[in-house]
Amino acid sequence: MRVLSLLALCLLLLGCRIEAPPEKPKVGAWYWHSPVEVTLPQASEAKSAGLDELYVRAGTLTYDGERYQIHLQQEWKQSEPFGVRLVYNADAGALRHIASALGDSSNSNASAEEEDSLIRQIADEIGNAYHEDERLAQNAGLTVRGIQLDFDLPQSRLRDYAKLVRKIRERLVSREFSVTALQSWVGTPEFKELQEATSWTVPQLYEGYLSEGPEKMHLSDYGQLKRMVEKLNESGHSYRIGIPAYSQAYLFDERGQFVTVHRGLTLEQAFKHPAMEFEEHTSNRGEQLVRFRATKAGADGRGKGYRLVYAVTGPETVREFMAALGKLPGEKRQGVILYRWTGDAMPQIWTGLKPGVDVGMNIETEVRRDVADLVDTNGNLRHEVAITMPQHYRDTMSLDPNGLQVDLEWRGVTVSQVRSRRLKSSVATPALVSKMSLLGPGLEAGQKTVVFLTAEGTGELVVKVTAKAISGKTSTHAPIRLELK
């Protein structure tokens, strides 16, 4: 009773108050493919990781030479209850036309009346599309929480972008309205006007160094996080941070100029390609960069000296960003959005929101011994051995050429063949030796690789696997002994 009286006196005389804990940051993910479907396992796994909403590309604004229209409209499949925000982006043609038609009188070919008419046309097109997509998404079981625009316009056009946002908001009363933002916008007077027109903005912290060339380029802009947050805090407006959770390969010419995003070779194919020479592997803050140089020209005579850079992010990248953000002040910071979820059953980006685990794997082995099929012409019993190495979803191995090593040793049997898509063998003819090693790049979170081995006779096979973490720390799996009889 005395304790209660003292507490009441404290509250009355000293103005003491018990503050509620701060709201947990919101975590979302951009969802850029079609159709949209959120299954029960996906919804459950996402929510357990703290991810509670998706930013779905609902349609793309395009310009056909006469008018703007929404195309590539989203398809909505029946889903589990989940929060979504509808995102409308603009293709290159639409952005070029907007940039040339809008702006100050000195930079525009259009009159003020024509500019207003153009803004109304875009606003009507997006507003109509939103109402239809909102209805379809809700019929599919999803909860629509607002709209987002993804227009990468020049900084000089941001004031007109703000006019467009206000015009659309006149049609979409009471909806939360956000826009994505380029890093170069943040802190400028033009961006401040755009901020004032929105509920909140989302600066994207990735690919800001693409123009720096193959030596300096990296995908994750983790190094800009503190500076960006400071500028956003100074603005006094609400914001969220877009962070990378995807991987990409970039091609640069012999002068170091960016050419294109490359999709012709996977990382493991680049390691084995006869015209690609491995140069360097570096890692920092959960992102890995693997660089190659082309040693031969292509059929068109071009390509020699070109550089191919693989930028690989994973769960570690998400954890690094989230941990760093948690240490930075920001009363107006509402959360983060991960780019992006591609619809797979168990995305790495979700596991990146959970605590990591040590690099390691559960090695699975299978030995086939069907006598009718496997006895060779000499009457020896042939064994087909499959050694499967799956990497768990919460961490990625080092992707350098020696990130994964498999050591094999056998006694009493003759190994006639060893096959692996990912790993290179140290021995050309295994039948002449009793042991060998296979080396190759490590596995990304959720990947697996298989080594196939054919052995004849009866005896023992010993398998030892060593994996290297991004940090360089190695982890060796306990040797597995297989009896072949």
Give this prediction's pTM. Answer: 0.88
> For the segment 59-107, what is each residue's pLDDT rounded down to a tens digit?
999 999 889 999 999 999 999 999 999 999 999 999 999 888 875 444 4
Q: What is the mean pLDDT of the chain?
A: 88
> For the segment 143-197, what is each residue's pLDDT rounded down to a tens digit?
999 999 999 999 999 999 999 999 999 999 899 999 999 999 999 999 999 999 9
Q: Give the model's pLDDT for residue 358.
A: 65
Token pair 């498999």: residue: 406
Tell me, yes or no, whether 318 and 300 share the same domain.
Answer: no
Instruction: Identify the band that residue 379 occupies on the pLDDT scale cut at 50, 70 and 90.
Output: low
Tell me, yes or no, whether 414 and 440 share the same domain.
Answer: yes
Long-range contacts of 1-9 (CB under 8 A, 24+ apart): none
Tell me which residue range forms the domain holding 185: 23-245+313-351
**Facing residues of 339 across strands?**
30, 244
Q: Which of 325, 268, 305 is nearest to 449 (CA)?
A: 268
Taking the C-alpha atoms of residue 71 and residue 125, their distance in angstroms, rounded to an integer, is: 11
Q: Which residues contact 349 (CB under 8 A, 6 or more apart)?
A: 29, 51, 245, 315, 318, 338, 340, 341
Tell me, yes or no, whether 308 and 339 share the same domain.
Answer: no
Q: Give the model's pLDDT for residue 23.
A: 56
Taking the C-alpha atoms of residue 267 and residue 248, their distance in angstroms, rounded to an integer, is: 10
CA dihedral 77, 80, 83, 89 (to 10 degrees): -20
Taking the C-alpha atoms of residue 345 and residue 348, their distance in angstroms, rounded to an integer, is: 10
Average pLDDT over residues 368-388: 69
> For the segment 324-347, what is each residue's pLDDT rounded down to a tens digit?
999 999 999 999 999 999 877 777
Query: Does residue 110 have a pLDDT over 70?
Result: no
Query: In terms of residues, how long is the chain?
Result: 485
Tell me, yes or no, whether 223 and 290 share the same domain.
Answer: no
Pairing mode of beta strands 404-420, 435-440: antiparallel
Tell me, yes or no, whether 229 and 296 share the same domain.
Answer: no
Contact 281, 312 (CB under 8 A): no
Query: Does residue 466 have a pLDDT over 60?
Result: yes
Range among 22-31, 199-208, 295-304, 355-364 with highest mean pLDDT value: 199-208
Tell me, yes or no, whether 267 and 347 share the same domain.
Answer: no
In DSSP notation, 155-166 reads GGGHHHHHHHHH
> For the segment 224-243, what is each residue's pLDDT rounded down to a tens digit?
999 999 999 999 999 999 99
> What share of the chain in percent tops pLDDT 90?
70
Tell me, yes or no, whether 101 and 177 share the same domain.
Answer: yes
Q: Which of 451, 437, 347 is nearest to 389 (CA)?
A: 451
> For the segment 251-294, what is each residue's pLDDT rounded down to a tens digit?
999 999 999 999 989 999 999 999 999 999 999 889 999 999 99
Q: How many domains does the chain have?
A: 3
Q: Give the model's pLDDT for residue 224.
A: 94
Q: Which of 396, 392, 204, 230 is nearest to 319 (CA)?
A: 396
Q: Which of 402, 414, 441, 243 is nearest to 325 (CA)?
A: 243
Q: Give the model's pLDDT for residue 349.
A: 77
Q: Give the model's pLDDT for residue 255.
A: 95
Tell me, yes or no, whether 345 and 429 share the same domain.
Answer: no
Tell me, yes or no, whether 188 and 163 share the same domain.
Answer: yes
Residue type at position 165:
V
- Please state, in angstroms and as integers, the Cα–Cα distance from residue 74 to each residue in 57, 60, 70, 86, 258, following that order: 7, 9, 10, 10, 32
Query: Does residue 10 have a pLDDT over 90?
Result: no
Tell me, yes or no, whether 47 and 102 share the same domain.
Answer: yes
